Structure 1
Amino acid sequence: MSSRQALTKIGFSATSRRREQTLDYDLLMRVYGEAPGLPSDKLKHVLMFAAEVVGPRGIVFAYDEAQNLADHAAAKEFPLGLLLDVFKSIQRREVRFMLVLSGLPMLFPRLVDSRTYAERMFRVLQLERLDEASSREAIVRPVEVMRSPVRFDAPAVAAIVEASRGYPYFIQFICHEAFAMMVQESDGRFVVPARDIVRKLDHDFFAARWSRATERQRELLLLAARVEREEVEEFTPAELVEASRTGGGKPFSSSGVAQMLAALTEAGLVYQSRSGAYSFAVPLFGGFLRRQGELAAPPPPQPAGERSKRAGR
C-alpha cells in the first residue's frame, strides 16, 4: 500500500504520539519482525495492524494462479495451510478482509486437502467458457473501443472463436498474437495466421507442462487425448485401460492407471471431477497432445506402385 496515514508508533498503544508514515513493505516487515510468536501469529499481527490503519474500507487479498500453492510435508513447508489458518482466524474477528483465490480446477480440492474446513471458508464460482456471442464480443469490442485501425473480418473472428473454444485466456492470447503476426494482403484485409499462432501457443503455453511428464506418463496422456470426449472434455480410467489394449503399445493395468493418474494429478496435469471422471487441468491440452501424437506417428505406408513411381522421378 502507498497511501499515507497518521499512524501510532509500531504496536497498538493508543497513548503514543502520532506521526505520519507510509504503510509500505518495509514497515509491515518491521511489524512482522517485532511481533511475538510463530509465523502464523506474526502474520495475524501484521494483518490486524493493517486493518486498524485502513479502517472500515477493508482490504481484498487477490491471489492468481493459486493452484500452485501447495504444502510440502517432506520439506516441512506448509504455505497453503498457513494461509488458510491465518485467514480463518481473521474471519472469526470479523475484520473486513476478503481473500480471493483464482486458479485451475484443482485449486479447490487442494484447499480441502490442506484444511478440511476450507470448504466452509470460500464461496466457489466456476468460470465457464464464453458462449459464441460473448466470444465474438470479446474479440471485436476491444478494437472498437480503442478505435484501432486493425479490424478482424467475419472469417477471422469465426476462426478465433473456433480455435479458442470460448476460453477467455486463449481468446486474449490468439488476438494478441494475431495483432503481432498479421500479414496484410493486397486488398487491404488482414489474415489471421492461425497455424503460426497455434504453434506459438504450443511452444509458449503447453510445452512446459508436457515436459513435466515421464515417458510412460506421456503415453497415458496421449492415450487420454485420444479417448477424451471433447464435448465434456473428460475421460475415465476404464476408458484408458480399454484403449491401451487396442492401441498397439504396452497396455496399462487398472492399478497402473490409478497410480499414474494420481501422480499426474499431483503434477497439476489432470484433475478428478466429482463424477469420478478425469479432465486435463489446462483447457485445450488435449488438442496439443493430439498434435504431438500426429507428429510422433509414422507416415502411412504407400502402395508399392506409388513408391516405384516416385523412385523413378
Structure 2
Amino acid sequence: MKNFSILGYGHIGKVHEQAIRDTENANLISIIDFNLPSDLDAITYSTLESFLQEDTTTDVVVIATPNGLHREHAIRCLKAGKNVFIEKPISLNVADAEEILAVANEKGLRVFSSMQLRFSPVVQYVKKLVENNALGKIHMVNVQCYWNRNRNYYKLREWHGTDDMDGGVLYTQFSHFVDIINYWFDEVKCVNSRSFNFSHSDITEFDDSGYVDFIADEAVGHMTYTTSVFNKNFESNITIIAEKGTIKIGDQYLNQMLYSDLKNVCCSNKVSTEQKNFHPEAIQEVSDALFRKNESILDGKFAVDLVKFISAANDFAKENKLHQMNAYEVSHS
C-alpha cells in the first residue's frame, strides 16, 4: 500500500480524494489547501511549505492545482523526495514538462499523469485491435468534441479562461481525447490547426473552437472541437476507418461502443460500460507501479507527448491567424 496526499482541494481534488478512499492499495494521508473544511478525515495543511516541512509518510503527492501551477508544485514536491501524480495536463508547455521529468530522474523518483480514460474497457479494446493488427491498414482517425462551457463555468473558477493558468480548451477540456490517440498509435504528429472564438471572446483569453489535422502512424487524422454548443454538451466520439473495419466509440468518458463493423471480430458491442469514473483505476495503477517498480501507462513521458501535440496545435493556430491577418491587410492596402 502506498500513501497519498492531495495538493489542491477543488472539484478535481475531491474526485482524487474519493478515488484514493475507494482503492484498496492506497491510503490518504493529508490534504493541502487553504480554507479546508474542519471535518476532513485526513491531516490538513494550509500551505505546501508546511506540508513539505512536516510530512514524513507520503509516497505520492497528487497535484490537483490550476494547470499553470503544475510545474512549480511538482518540482517542489520532487525536490522534497515525493513522487508526483499530476492532474492533466502535466504542464502548459514542453520545456516545463521536460523539466519535471528531469528533476524526477535526478532524484530517482516517479512522475505519473492523470490519463485515466486509458482504463476505459472500450479504449482498451480498441488498443488491442490496433496492437494485433486486427483492423489492417488504418486509413483515417476522426475526433469530434462538441461541448458547452458557459459564462457561469468560468465565473465559478477564477483561473479558468486565462492563458497562464488554464491554457485553453485543448488542455483543459479535450486533452483526454488527444491522449487516447497517443495511446493507440506509436507516432502522432500535429501538422496543422485553426482556431476560432465563437462565443467566449469577452470571457476567455483563448479561442473556444477549432480543428486539428494530424498524422497517426500512417493514418490521416482530423479533430474538430468546440465549447460553444448551445445549452449543454452534445457529443464526443472517435471514429477509425480501416482496411478491415470501422469503429466508433464515444460519450464524454469514451466508455461506449457506438458502432462496430469488423472483419472476423464479433461481440465488440459487449465492451461498453456505464462506468464513467476511472480515477480509482489510475490510483491503483500508480500504487502498483511504485510497489512493483515497473513501467506504467500513466508514466510522465506519455504526458509530455500530449503537451507536445497541443503546443504544436496552438502554435499552428496562431500562425494561421497571423497569416490571415496579414493577407487581409495586404488586400485592403
| TM-score (norm: length of structure 2) | 0.23
Q: Which structure shows the higher helix fraction?
A: 1
- If asked which structure has higher relative contact order (CA below 8 Å, sep 6+), I would say 2
Greater gyration radius: 1
Q: Which structure shows the higher strand fraction?
A: 2
